[in-house]
Chain A
Amino acid sequence: MTTYVDPSGRTVQLGRELGVGGQGAVYTVPNDAGVVAKIYLQPPDARATRKLDALVRAADPQLQSVSAWPQTLLRDPKGGVRGFLMPLVPSAEYHELHMLYRPGARKQHFPKADWRFLVHVARNVARAFAVLHARGHLMGDVSARNVMVSHQGVVRFIDTDSFQVQVGTEVFTCPVGTAEFTPPELQGKGFGTLVRDMNHDLFGLALLVFHLLFEGRHPYAGVHADGGTPSPAEAIAKDLFAYSLQRQAGVTPPPFTLTLKGLPEGLRTLFERAFAPTHAGRPTAVQWEAALAELFTHITTCAKNAAHQHDRRVSCPWCASLPSNAGAATAKTGVPGSAKRIDVEAELNRIWRTVQAVPVPTAPTQVPVTVRPAPLPLPALPPLDTPRSAFQVSSVLWGITNVVLALLSVQTGVWWLTLILVGFAWYSFSRNSAPVREKRRVAQLDQLKQRQHQTYAALLRQSLTQYQGEAQTLRQQLDQASRRLDAVGAPSKYRQAIHALEGLRTQLRLLELEEERQVRALLERHRKSALDVFLSKFVIAPGTVNGIGASLVATLHASGIRTAKDVTSNVRWVKGVGPKRQQDLQDWRETLEQFFQFDPAQVPRHEVEAVRARVEQQRAAQLRQLEGAVAQFVRDVLAWRQAEQTALQEIHALKVELAQREKTIDVIQSSPLALN
């Protein structure tokens, strides 16, 4: 083997050959595990040598982190450039990008990759292009084969010696291209000396991003209304972007694929721009990176199917795209209905109108006493005692006696005696004189009045005590009546009753779900047997599944595994089926299952009717129960109101009486007589 020397004069030993292509072969370098050597089959000519030199001079750590960029020229002992050293892209870790975006290959090489991973990789692709473009270099021959992706979702460019590089004013072109990644304006052109610009590379970048996001679909492959079957390159040349929402080009996306509607607005716009017939101003790598980073933060897992991931701002596009999912959706809505079905909501509405017509009881307000209470009659003033006569008969008798005695004393002649007796007589008679009599009468009247007042005051005190006692009794009665009113408790009873009715109503509505559940279970039973019939149409034949040849097919058939229907995890017990083939067989079955469409209309109508009829009976019974409960409720509410009314009337009456007593007490207490 020829030996090669690097620019510093050291000999570089080549190891194992890793691969050979049209231009050259790649070898390991035993002394340095991190690099490999590419040696050209034909020694590069002068211009190719200058390009390699330019590539090596343009190398920098960031370029080498995203690509297998030539880093050291290798010469033969005569000094002729024969190849170069570049960073190793380990083949155990890295695969060509199409091995990731093609679902069939992904299952094998990236079994754990989900859509989130694909978006992440698309973002890394954009980042790698951003590094390249920032330096003025172009991939030129953009293709999925020139982009390697690792299981960590890290991206590396390969075949970098074909890239278009610019050093100073000199441009080294990329002499090749891949037709299905070539922009429309370059279709059919020779690439040899063509100087590409960044806008051309950006078409390829958009295609790579599209393939990653759209499960390996080519944006220009669709169903053509004119019945044409162009190759992707022919479709690109005619600007037939199949997914455009802005333009109708007579081509629609393939059946059961994601569409632009499954992406957020920002990315939609970028794709429309990248594949627009204007061919100008395609989104840059930096713009793609930003939009994909934004999408990544919004990815959510579908609520219905954990295998689906999508932007949370749009409804799950995968559910909408796959027929198996569509089947699940129709099972909900496309179930044959029943003709004579009770309209539950209408019935509930009708019944509930009765419930709503019952006024909602409020907490009973203590009716205020509005009438001014008239005080009760007070005890009458006791009559004044009849005054005795003011005329004193005794004084007259005494006067007469004294006159007689005086007359008698005159006879005796004791004149001083006579005089004294006459004086006594005078005094006795003067006691009945008018002024004296008046004086005596007034004094007696005063005395009588005073006695009358004392009596009355005693009477008032007696009344006061009586009324106070009555008021006390009334307050007690009022208290009892209020408690009776509270015991009626219409509001709380109403709440309880409504709650119970609502419970019945909910039960009825749940019956709806129960019916759906039962019908769906029935459909599922039929779907499963239809699926079995469907799967049994796919006979395992040589080549059906990768690596399963005629002899293994015969063994499988002999073991009773003839069709996709028979493929279960049990296939692993068949001799010759390893874990790998078991997985492949099961993947095959799963793929077929995805394309199984089940029409719920196939389920015999009478079976669905039977389920519905059963639930219908329950529904009718529950409706009757609810109606009975509502009628009882109306009666109850009426009874509560009557009880409440009675209690309120009683309270009102008691209050009036109490108020009268209180007023009377007040009057008595404010009376001056009562103060004594």
Chain B
Amino acid sequence: MNRTLILGGILSALMVIAALLSFVWTPFDHSAMNIPEKLQTPNSKHWFGTDHFGRDLFSMIMVGARTSIAVACVAVGIGIGLGVPLGLWAAARQGGWVDEVIMRGNDLIFAFPSLVIAILITAIFGAGAINAIVAIGIFNIPVFARVTRGGALPLWAREFILAARVAGKGAARISIEHILPNIANLLIVQATIQFSLGILAEAALSYVGLGAQPPTPSWGRMLADAQTLVSIAPHMALVPGFAIILTVLGLNLLGDGLRDALDPKLRVARV
């Protein structure tokens, strides 16, 4: 069995479980201040220690996972929802002006430094989770459009597509009924990669104060809180940092593992 897939799956599942569990149970109230117990290092009562307000870091990490998942999920959803249809359309009209316009539009979005634009959008239209989602999501559109088109183009030359055309099916129907199922594995792999990038981007935006706003907990803001205290309470920086790294690592391994598992041709894993 594929060890990469298992390790990635376990790490990713841990994050999802922590997020779901936080709806019904956390060791402490994640927002409850408890000044007498502030800045504690990890111990048997506070497993990950406490912050400068005495809030329990373990509970904050659990609830923060919700924010990360929600932002990354919707951002990937925007990318798939708009990028996949555009990619299918471009592939169906290969070489035509529709293809040209869609692909040049993609190149243009790629040319924008994504972080600058995300900062611009959140700063101008107001900081917050919704604007962060939109800012991250926009840059997922060309990624999925490109992957979809790249996967769909060789399929259009295959006999079974020709058969479908002879049977009288239109380009739209062929795209949905025959092309899409055949590129699903490509899209799943790309989705896990974009999901991990989304989590990193959300953390970065929250860190500079442009992502989720208080009182919504977020890993990026926990790091921002930790910055001024890093010399006296390093655990405040280490705990959210490790949460981000393990989650992103888990998702990347999951993506690699899925790619190998879904496509035997690629079993000699490269990148």
Partners in one complex: no
Measured CB to CB, the residues of B under 8 A from A are: none
Chain A residues within 8 Å of B, Cβ to Cβ? none
